[in-house]
Chains A and B, each alone.
Chain A
Amino acid sequence: MTWNNHPLPLSRREALVRTGMGLGWLGAASLLQPESASAASVAATAMAPRPPHFPARARAVIHIFANGGPSHLDTFDRKVSLEQYAGREIPNKLATERQTGAALPSPFAFARHGESGLEVSELFPHVARHADRLLVVRSMHADVPNHEPSLMLMNCGDPRLVRPSAGAWVTYGLGTENQNLPGFVAMCPGGYPIKDTENWRNAFLPGAYQGTYIDTKKTRVEDLVEYVRHPVLDRDTQRRQLDLTATLDRRHLEARQHDPQLEARLASMELAWRMQSEATEAFDVSREPQHVLDRYGDDVQGRQMLIARRLVERGVRYVQLWHGAGQPWDSHEHIEKNHRQLAGECDRAIGALLDDLVGLGLLDTTLVLWGGEFGRTPTVELPTAGTDVKEPSGRDHNHHGFTVWMAGGGVKAGTVYGATDELGFKAVEKPVHVHDLQATMLHLLGLDHTKLTYRHSGRDFRLTDVHGRVITDWLA
């Protein structure tokens, strides 16, 4: 895959100070705008596409975030042994957020799928159709059994400190291919997940790299995308208004000779104009034929998966889809009912998304990642005083071992990597830390996680801090 060389997002001076990108990167950029960069100015738009460090396998990411912590044991990591221990204490119980008791076998039936024979529970029949396209990582582990730090770790690479999110890092490193759309979109229906906008923040990176939040519960396009339409004017009238501004601006610019900063500003007005129509178009799923809408399902998950596909089709770099506000997958109680409902809400749409990415030939270059901030315990959670729950019926958080799956973007298909222990509590075989997942994701995008840095507070920061290793076994 090749991309054109494009100017830097920051002024050359700022780039020299801030980025740890190699000289080649800077050199290429300098060639394109040798003499024109004015001092305090910005040479080009922050989102202009930039070449990766090395040839990339993936050019876009769709991260389906099952926030709250889906149970690996009820979805993609079957543990027959749990049935033997049903209702009894298990030998290797580990500390989690709350007290847990006896082993809780999965109430869901598992079956093997595809040539790979991947075991998937009845919760995800549509995902299971794609069994031979999945790389299922069963040996994920994180640091602590609490939502907030685990969300921060998964999204920003540090459990507590203020660090940029993965999407911000990726758009900082690569820009985005469609200047008429945001490069990093975070969709969550009905509000924010916990930790709010921190999940897609830019932190100390420039503001342009923050994820653009879209509340996909809303259906009208002008409600979805901020400032996409003038509150009063129709398109023609606004165009004539913009033409007058452009006339005055050109006069202004001529009087000031060449100033790349002013030129960029003039260009960005036209970009914004085009963005209005393109963004409106991209987010408007009603333009899809009925049979497509039917495949995704006429509901909020169907709508946001479909928007994700439309965005990636149009060159958006990083799309994150959250299941819902708060922490929907957090089934401390009634896991059977709750997980069934949650999976029921999204399975069909995920299956349709994968179908379409395959059909459009996009899956090869689009990394789809599904997972939560952690998994759940093989043991049943004991009700705590003060709750209304009388019967133990759910699972606690489990950061010791959990599952994520990936598809496309150059990962090995139809593969299971790593394993938890016999009862599914802890990652024991080829354990993968969240930093390793992040390092490998960046690698798939053609970025070296140790070189994608930003100078801040006198130090070069990176997504994986001082950790992370690329797991070459995942590469197709």
Chain B
Amino acid sequence: MIGFAAVATAAEATSQEHEALFESRVRPLLAAKCQSCHGDKVAEAGLRLDSRRSLLTGSDSGPVLVPGEAATSKLLLAVRQTGDLAMPPDEKLSPEEIATLETWVTAGAPWSGPGGDDDASPPTPAATMDERLATSLKNHWAFTPPGRHPAPDLPAAFDPSLKGAWSAATIDRFVGARLADAQLQPSPEATARDLFRRLSFDLTGLPPSADEADAFCAAAAGGPAATDAAFRVAVDRLLASREHAEHWGRKWLDLARYADTMGYVIGDADNRYPFAWTYRDWVIDALQRDLPYDRFVTLQLAADRIEPPVPRSDLAALGFLTVGRTFLGNAHDIIDDRIDLVTRGLLGLTVACARCHDHKYEPVTAADYYALHGIFASCAIPKELPIVGDSPPGPEAEAFTAKLAELEAAVTTHETAVYARAIREAVAHAADYFFETARPTPRAADNRLPALADGYELEQFLLDPLKELLDKAEPSHPILGAWAAARGTPDTEVVAVLTAVRNAWGQSPDPAVVNPLVLQELLSAQPTTLRQLAEAYARLVARVAPEAAGGPAAQAEEPAELAALRALVGAEGTPLVVARGRAMKVATRDERAERQKRKKAVAAHRNEAAGSPLRAMVLLDNSPVDSHVFLRGNPGKPGEKVERRLPKLLGGAAVARDSSGRLDLARAIVAPTNPLAPRMIVNWAWTHHMGRGLVDTPGDLGLRGELPTHPHLLDDLARRFVDEGQWSLRWLHREIVTSRVWRQSSVIRDDLADRDPDNRLFGRANRRRLDWEAWRDSMLAAAGTLDLAHRGGRGIDPLAEAAMNTRSVYGRLDRQNVPGILRIFDIANPDTAVHVRTKTTVPQQSLAVLNAPLVVAAARQVATRVDHEIGDTSKNDVRIVALWRAVLARSPSGDEQAAAATWLAEETPRDESDQATFTRWDRLAQALLATAEFQFVD
């Protein structure tokens, strides 16, 4: 070998060096930094960097490499990141790595071994999006239609005491068999009191009253069959209640990223959505009607497109699309938000990633994204939202109408005053305007007209048309002739020019040659400068100016010369007499601000006053357009145009050409063949009932989401939801909560803690902390302030003591300024579709429990309520029992009673001191509101 090397030619030596360079430095670099996006799996922009041939062929936009030309090769431009194209996108290559590529390209991009020019084996083609789609449609569980599955029988080893009960419902058999497979037993049924409390919170978000709970427990004392019967009665009663619709409506509002404001706006502009709440009320109403889910979704996407037309109250459903953030009006961000809402929200599929490039792992292309983009780009929110309901007739509605007329009149009055002021001043400064057209004043850098001695600033808006009129007038013009002749001459020659004009007119001029009024004015004024001539014309203007500008009253019949003058410079719409409708163009800043103020008052009244009609936050079709793919998501770089259609994953069918296609989109989402929508909603409901999903990523059923723990159960339930349940959410809730799985105890047995710590197999119920709404509502219920008849309408401030009669779902939420206490208790982020809230435990939560004015106010009310209910407050033990029942819906145990009595005795002296404004009974009430029992559901 040594011998060979010694005699190797220079060329061979170079070749060896090239090979070393390529194999040791270039190939590893391409593999590590480039080929994940430009290789055999994915070929972004059509570019592959895994063979010399494909480098030379280049990308969709041409070759990326010219051997020997490092300076111009696109590959190098991209990695140097000096221009628009910057690669790799996540982290720039090091200077050494860039230098390596330069050396390599300069050397002619030598490529040895696989992928080189001598490599006979053709490169494996990159999987096209179509192939990826086909593969995942076949292989990914969530992309195949859910089918029925026979529920397995429970094995012999199943706990015999539970086997009977667990053998009936399909849900129980699926879950039970799976537990048995893992050699685990389910948990026994929760105690009657726990069960009833859980049911109440789960279905309505409210605690039961102590009396209701006692009644259930009494019924359940009759044995399992009696319990079951009482339980089913309770389920049906609660499912039909308005409180149920409110509680589950709030969960849907999380998914709809509901809020009452549009987010950040510039300056002090109003960012409120005055009618977002009509959508919120529609959702609650729809759930109470048990509107089938397919209809529920269709209305929210396309209520305006359905034939025959839906009742106008259903237009409020479209708020689903429009209550999102407005991103300072950026249309593409708004559309992106809607695409994400519809795809991830309703399908559990992440499509929004395809805004910048074909999806990295889901079978979703940028073309899919921009096909949806076109659908939403073809829609707009109308300037005036449609009225979908009247407030009931009566004094409120009448007062609204009267006040509206008054406020609108105030706008008109102001506009009229501005109009009069503007033309009066313009006419008064007519000479300055005339003069300015001929002898313009030098402008400052900002091009603004200088102010006159009296403070008036000439208006460009008036000057321009006047200049146009005067400049195009010929010296033969019967009115403007003198001006036309003199406007270009220096003052020293004005007299001569005007004399010549006068001479040309002759001794008794024909009115057709010179308007007699002009002649008369010039003869009397005898102007000697252009300024004086301008003043003469200004007097002519004043003779025909409108009354509002201080001109003479109009006459019914006026001489022809006056009429001609009026038509030229005095009538509305002539240069200095701006048309009434355009008066605001020449308004001062203060005048504009005043008008804005008055218009705002009109809008505020329309939107907020009691008695105003209700409006829907609709999205309506505009003229249909198709969108271009934006390369790397950049609207400045449009690529190919894509026709509006469904994503390929949903079949890719074209949507209607004569409309936006929202209705087609809606129908495709709830089509019986769509595998995603029913799985999403069934898993969503399961997640909220059980505290954990069958798929643990309820918003992501795609390739990167979690796999279902019970795939057959999920599919079977999804299938039955559509076929048996006919998309009824109430059916679905009933299926789940009447299951034995749901009814289990939440006690964490040692074997379950050891072997299934995350409770993936549902061998017990999950203990849960109340969310913000249920926690607040529970306090109001305990305080006795909650008025369940007080519901709907404009949002309340959930932290205000005055709103302690109203459930939290009716709270007004400013997405720009979410109160800290709501954040701390993990409310859903109102900027994105949330399927399930994150849950945290932070001490700030406990700080709120200890000190928040809301809790303190509730504690006082609890004590007051209890005293009121028992009447006679002389017996401590009676008061203690009543407090317990008000707050915890049960009577205290003996030792609890004793502990409270002892505590009260010790506290008595304190009430003589400065703590008296929050008595020991108030304090005891707060101590109970602060317990874990109050805040957690077993």
Contacts and interface: CB of A to CB of B under 8 A. Distances in A.
A196 interface: yes
B933 interface: yes
Interface string A263-303: 01110110111011000000000000000000000000000
Contacts of B753: 35-36, 38, 258
Interface in B324-366: 325, 327-328, 330, 333, 340, 344, 349-350, 352-353, 362
Interface in A242-273: 242, 244-245, 247-249, 251-253, 256-259, 261-262, 264-266, 268-269, 271-273
A276 B851 CA distance: 10
A111 to B, nearest CB: 34
Given A148-B264, A245-B927, A468 B915 contact: no
A232 B691 contact: no
Interface in A44-80: 44-47
B268 to A, nearest CB: 11
B706 A40 contact: no
Contacts of A39: 691-692, 757-760, 766
Nearest to A226: B820
B384 interface: no
Interface in A68-96: none
Contact of B841 (A17, A44, A182, A249): A44
A241 B923 contact: yes
Given A245-B927, A252-B933, A160 B823 contact: no
A459 B328 CA distance: 25
B91 A450 contact: yes
Contacts of A233: 915, 918, 923
Interface residues of B, number: 100
A5 interface: no
A11 B699 contact: no
Interface residues of A, number: 94
Interface in B891-919: 895-896, 899-900, 903, 906-907, 910, 914-915, 917-918
Interface string B838-852: 111111111111111
Secondary structure type dominating chain A contacts: loop
A269 B849 contact: yes
Contact of A227 (B352, B818, B852, B918): B852
A228 interface: yes
B401 to A, nearest CB: 37
A268 B821 CA distance: 16
A12 interface: yes
A412 B753 CA distance: 51
B842 A238 contact: no
Given A17-B696, A38-B759, A259-B767, A269 B846 contact: yes
Contacts of B362: 458
Contact of B843 (A241, A256, A271): A271
B826 A261 contact: no
B647 interface: no
Contacts of A14: 838
B224 interface: no
Interface centre among A196, A253, A459 (most CB of B within 10 A): A459
B523 interface: no
A262 B932 contact: yes
A469 to B, nearest CB: 6
A381 to B, nearest CB: 11
Contacts, number: 265
B748 A252 contact: no
A160 B347 CA distance: 25
B706 A17 contact: yes
Interface stretch (A134-142, A200-208, A347-355, A356-364): A200-208
Contacts of B746: 256
A457 interface: yes
Interface in A159-211: 160-162, 179-180, 182, 195-198, 202-204, 206-208, 210
B843 A272 contact: yes
Given A39-B692, A196-B264, A265 B90 contact: no
B754 interface: yes
Contacts of A271: 843, 846
A197 to B, nearest CB: 6
Interface in B815-860: 816-818, 820-821, 823-827, 829, 831-832, 838-853, 856
A244 to B, nearest CB: 5
A9 B806 CA distance: 33
25 contacts: A9-B840, A10-B840, A17-B697, A39-B759, A39-B766, A42-B839, A179-B843, A195-B264, A207-B827, A228-B847, A232-B917, A241-B930, A244-B927, A245-B928, A247-B899, A256-B746, A261-B936, A268-B842, A271-B843, A272-B847, A275-B843, A276-B847, A458-B350, A458-B705, A459-B353
Interface of B: 89-92, 264, 266, 325, 327-328, 330, 333, 340, 344, 349-350, 352-353, 362, 445-448, 589, 691-692, 696-697, 699-700, 702, 704-706, 746-748, 753-754, 757-760, 766-769, 816-818, 820-821, 823-827, 829, 831-832, 838-853, 856, 895-896, 899-900, 903, 906-907, 910, 914-915, 917-918, 923-924, 926-928, 930-933, 935-936, 938
Given A212-B820, A232-B915, A384-B446, 6 more contacts: A162-B832, A196-B816, A208-B844, A233-B918, A457-B832, A458-B353
